Structure formats: structure tokens, C-alpha cells
A and B are shown apart, each in its own frame.
Chain A
């Protein structure tokens, strides 16, 4: 590890911790391969987004305070989820007495791909991943954190994840009909509007199947968990991996 490497604290969202430990491991290993000193602060929990999006943001003060304190002593906080990152940046309630720390956190927390592209300033990764990969753009990553251009806006097209993936040897990028339509996960929406959520997920999967996606990837495991849940229920052949898993495998 380099002596002057930034000290990175890993923030692993609660559902990744519980259901997808391999995504946490891949994130950790990938960042280390890229020269970072990575720590996983123990005692971290959840960002409180599920509750806030359900209309109970006022009950997330304790969670937010705990989060700010847990991650206070690091140069950067990196998270393999655009949605949770956005929540910390934009939707934390104001915490009395921690104003300075909260402001600092908003500026030092990054989604994984954003961190690799914008902080480590890595333009391309040398590696191999000979598969046909379909990318699911998470709404919070795209429209919230601007990890890629939105189809709604009149702006030059860009996609930070695509830039890293496309350079991998053998990777075949899937062009979708609807490049950035929501998958229908939406947190509590997945259960309060179950019928719509399922239909939206099926439609996203249909787009990938039509364009012969072999591995469906994305920066948010919550979207992937939802899509994978529908795909496995209907016995579809698709494979699902987080971007961190692909990049970590490709670099090994």
C-alpha cells in the first residue's frame, strides 16, 4: 500500500451487509487493488433511507447522528450504492452540534464508481471480462449523483461506469431500448405498490433479454435484488453481478 494513499472508510449498506457480503468484499478488494488504505468502521448500521422515503425522515435523526460520528475520522467514505450515498448527501436531517462534521461528510462521501473516476481519477482499468454485460442505471446514481447523462436532459452523453467497463478486454456492452428507465424497486414502493413494482421490473428485464444480456450489472444492489428476485421466480437464465464484482474479477 502506498504511504500517501487516502484513508478510505467503507460504508456497506445494511442489505448488502446482510444479503450480499460478496459485494462488500469485492468493493474492499477492488479499492485495495487501486492503492487505497481501506477500513471498515465497525458499528456502522443503516443510512435510514427506507424510513425517510416512507415519510418518517424525522425519526432518522439518531441514525444520521450515529452515521456522522462513525465516519468522522476518515478522508473519504466510499459506498457501493448510489442510492444510499445520495441519501447521506441530500436527505440526512440537520444534526444539531454536528453541523461542521455533517457538511464535511456530504463532501467526502462517494459512490464507488464516482470515487474511482473522480477522486482516484482512473480513466481506464486494464483487465479482462469476456461477457455480454447489460447495465442497469440506478435512478439515484444517475439523476441524483449524475454518474451518467440522463435521457431527459440535453447534455453530452457520458456514463462513468460504462467508461470503466468498456475498456475491459472482451466485454460486450448491451445497448438497451430504454437506457435509464426505473426498475420499480423504489424502497417501500416495492411492497406498497407491489403490482406496479413487479411490472416495472419485468419490463426492465424484458429489455435486457431482448438484447441478449448475459450478465446484468449495476451500481445499486437494491435494484439488482429486485430484478434478480423477479428473474429467478420466473426461472430466467440471467446472471447478476454488482459493478464492484465485475471490476474486481477483471483485475485479478
Chain B
């Protein structure tokens, strides 16, 4: 299904769509308020963008520096070219430990690599320990948002799900009660897991340490109880120096949820005596994106989700409408790099309003890249574009008004354009919208009559 089809489906439940829009707008509004409490906010964004540009320009060097320092600290460093290699490496470590039950804190990278189904196929029980992620895992759904994985679900739906899975009281929707039930359930899983998997928010080249940010402390709980910690990190998550965190940690949570800082920002540097830390550095299409000049700086992304919260399309179509691990504006410029054909409708799922670019804490020019991806999609004639041009050519002869207008424009002017593209819209335009009243003369005609 294309984005427009999914969006239309989402909007059919108009009450829920309205709720979804308002809930995310609330988060965006919170972000606005907290960011305006920092006088140097725009300077911070500029700094963060500059640091990330430097990282992308020297990525290989920083990665090797990170590997050297991490190894010195006793961390075992692995490299994965793609998701298959990443998944295989994780499984190998688990098999070495004879581990068949693992806890995992939030990691978009492991979603991107589809690690859970892979491990389950190989007999490993994976439990997502972030509350939102556990909820969607119970439902066999992917997260619908990278920071708020279960934002598409209402309290009542979660209450019903917990009643079924965790035997909570039927109809009890009290968030504190439901969260407590999840805590008890997850506590058992934490105690049983020999290995804990986490994502990585920032890897520090200078020190070989890495930082994991969570609000629930679930990464720490998992890691400290387990014998082995596997951290999965996209290669673009590197920062040169520890002091750079002073910029990024101030931006991350404020942009994501409007909090001054995430509750837990945990630094992992060396394994405790007798324990192991593994870090897997994953490419999976990132160097290919780095080589695309127009799209390179999409790799600056720190996965805060602000562009989703602000996007008028995301808020009204939901995360699943994008059919990609990272939804919303940033997903729509990352995903076409992974599979242009599959994601060809995503660059068009935008009015190019530019709000995403202005909330982005690392100043990715998201809407300009959406525009550039459109040019790429039409070049390769992805399915979406083909459908569009056919519809256009078809539509023009169906509406006499469209024909008349495009005819007059065609004659006068748009000699070099496939005119059909411009005035086809009148057909669909009229489904839920009136056309303007056609005036008796155009401005050109009026001008000729009255002024020349």
C-alpha cells in the first residue's frame, strides 16, 4: 500500500485521528516551550550540526579511534556491513553464552535489522523492556514512532491488552496500575536474562565509551543484571569528544519530549570484572547514503522524533502509514536510500512545509531533501510516479474545465512543460472541495483591455 492509501485508511477513524494529531501536537508544543527557555537554542542547533558535519566528513577516522579506545577499555568491538551480519553476530554471542532469553532496551537499529524475528526463529526469546515497545511487541506490531513506540494506542486498548496478557483487572485504565503490572512482569524477565541488548545514542571516539539514554532506566536494569551486554550502534552515532555530549544531551530530550534531559543517560566504558561488553558497529546502507551528496546530511539524525511530532502529515496518518522502520519526515529521506522502489511514495507524503527542518536539533534540511528525492523517484520511474503521470494524462481529457484552462495555458506559455501534470488535479480536487468561480476574464485579458 502507498502512503496516500494508508493515510486515507487512518483518517477513516476521524476521532482517533484527531486524538493522534492532538497528542503529538501536545508533545511538539512542550518542545517549543522548553526550547524557548534556552536563550542559546539556535546556537546549540548550529553547534550540533557542525559537530555532526565534522563527524560525517571524518567518519572512518573517528570510527577507528573509537575502536582503538573501546578495545583498550576491554570492550569487544565487532563490525557489521549489513543487517544479516549484525543479526548473525548477535546470535553467535548469545550461542556462546548458551543464552535463550534476552532482554532488549529500545534500539531503532535492531528494528531496522529485524533482529527480533531473526532471534526468535533461532529459538531465542526476546523481551523488549521499554514499556511502549513491550506493548507493541505483545501486539506483534513494530513501533509506530521512534521515541513513542505505542503512541498510536489509547489507554483503553492497552488496558484490554494487559488484561489479556498480564491478567490485569478488566476495564482498569489507570496508567499507574497498568505500569505497575508491566513492572512486575518485566522484573521477572530482567532476572532471567543472561544477556542484555541495548542501542547506542552516542559513541565517543576520544574515550571509547558509549552513552545510552532512556527514561525508564530499563537499559541499566537489563545491563547490570546480565552477564553480557551487547550494544548495537549505527556507525553515524559517533561523536568526537566527550564534551560534545554537553551539546547533544541538551538538545535530545528537549526536542524529543520536551523534557530538559532524559532520566537516565548512562555511560558504558568498561565491563565489570568477569562480565563482557560487545559493541557492534553497523553500516547497513549508511556509507551508501554518505556517498550521496544531496542526502548525506540525513545521517546527522540523532533519532529524537521531533520531525514526526511536528509533521502535519505524520500526525494525521500515523507511523504505520509509512511502512518503514523510521517513519515521518526523516524516515522519508532515509528509507528511499535503502529501497527506492518500495518507498517511492514517501517523498511525496509532504507539503514541503518545512516545519521538520526548523525543529530538527541538528539542522537537517529535511524538506529540501524530500524535494530532491522526488526528482530521483521520477527519474527511476518508481511505481508511484508512473501512476501519477498516467493519472494526469488521463485526467486532463476528462474535465472540460481542466482542458480549457490547460489549453489556454498550453497555447500561451507552458511550451516546455508536460502540461497535463499541472491541471490534471482538477478532477480529484473537486471531490471534497469546490473550484473557485471562473472569472469572466483573466488578469492578462483585463490588463490588455484596461492598461495597455
Chain A to chain B: the 4 pairs with minimum beta-carbon distance, closest first: A62-B416, A45-B413, A186-B351, A229-B433
User: Complex Cα distance A153/B358, Å?
Assistant: 6
B385 close to A55 (CB less than 8 A): yes
Contact with B along A1-35 (1 / 0, CB 8 A): 00000000000101011111111110010000000
C-alpha spacing A171/B110, complex, angstroms: 56
What are some 11 contacts across the A-B interface (CB < 8 A)? A18-B409, A42-B452, A45-B409, A50-B421, A66-B416, A143-B355, A152-B359, A178-B25, A195-B4, A196-B11, A200-B351
Q: Is B60 an interface residue (CB 8 A)?
A: no
Mark B441-452 against chain A: 1 for CB-CB distance below 8 A, else 0: 111111110011
Select one of B38, B350, B434 contacting A232, CB under 8 A: B434
Chain B residues with CB under 8 A of A50: 421-422
Judged by a CB distance under 8 angstroms, whether A249 is at the interface is no
* B405 adjacent to A18 (CB under 8 Å): yes
Asked if A233 is at the interface (CB within 8 A of a chain B CB), the reply is: yes
Q: How large is the interface on B (under 10, 10 to 19, 20 to 34, 35 or more residues)?
A: 35 or more
B8–A195 CB distance below 8 A: yes
B18 closest partner in A (C-beta): A203
Give A181 to B312 CA distance when docked, in angstroms: 7
Distance in angstroms between the alpha carbons of A23 and B439 in the assembled complex: 12
Q: Does A51 contact B (CB under 8 A)?
A: yes
Contact with A along B417-443 (1 / 0, CB 8 A): 110011011011101111110110111
Q: Are B421 and A54 in contact (CB under 8 A)?
A: yes
Q: Mark A70-113, 1 if CB is under 8 A from B, else 0.
A: 00000000000000000000010000000000000000000000
Do the beta carbons of B21 and A203 come within 8 Å of each other? yes
**A188 CA to B392 CA in the complex, in Å?**
11
The answer to whether the Cβ of A199 comes within 8 Å of any Cβ in the partner chain is: yes
Contact flags A166-197 to B (C-beta < 8 A → 1, else 0): 00000000000010111011111111111111
Look across to chain A and name the residue whose beta carbon is closest to the beta carbon of B437: A19
> Do the beta carbons of B417 and A193 come within 8 Å of each other?
no
Can you add 16 more A-B contacts, CB < 8 Å, to A54-B388, A200-B351? Answer: A18-B439, A22-B439, A28-B447, A45-B409, A55-B378, A62-B416, A143-B357, A143-B358, A153-B358, A154-B39, A182-B353, A186-B351, A189-B348, A196-B4, A196-B7, A201-B433
Among A59, A151, A199, contact of B17 (Cβ-Cβ < 8 Å)? A199
Which residues of B lie under 8 Å from residue A198 when comparing CB positions? 432-433
**Given the complex, which residues of A lie within 8 Å of B104, measured CB to CB?**
none
If the complex has contacts A46-B422, A193-B7, A198-B433, are A21 and B443 also in contact, measured as CB distance less than 8 A?
yes
User: Which of the listed residues B36, B385, B421 has the most CB atoms from chain A within 10 Å of its own CB?
Assistant: B421
* B32 in complex: contacting residue of A61, A152, A229, CB < 8 Å: A152
Interface string of A188-230 (1 = CB under 8 A from B): 1111111111111101000000000000000000000110111
A199 touches B316 (CB 8 A): yes
- Bound-complex Cα distance A60 to B374 (A): 14
Contacts of A140 in B (CB 8 A): 352, 354
Write the nearest CB–CB distance from B44 to chain A, whole angstroms: 9
Specify which of B41, B355, B421, B431 is in contact with A51 (CB 8 Å cutoff).
B421
Contact between chains at B442 and A62 (CB < 8 Å): no
Pairwise interchain contact A19-B432, C-beta atoms closer than 8 A: no
**B403 at the binding interface (Cβ < 8 Å):** no
Q: With A56-B421, A57-B375 known to touch, is A193 a contact of B313 (CB < 8 Å)?
A: yes
Residue of A nearest to B42 (CB): A154
Is B310 among interface residues, defined by CB-CB distance under 8 A? yes
Question: Any chain A CB within 8 A of the CB of B414?
Answer: yes
Given the complex, which residues of A lie within 8 Å of B421, measured CB to CB?
50-51, 54, 56, 188
List B14-58 residues whose CB lies under 8 Å from chain A.
17, 21, 25, 32, 35-36, 38-39, 41-42
Query: Which B residue sits closest to A180, measured CB to CB?
Result: B355
Q: From residue A109, how far is it (CB to closest CB) to chain B in Å?
A: 18
Interface assignment of A40: CB less than 8 Å from any CB of chain B = yes
In the complex, A121 has a CB within 8 A of chain B:
no
Known: A46-B422, A184-B312. A196 touches B354 (CB 8 A): no
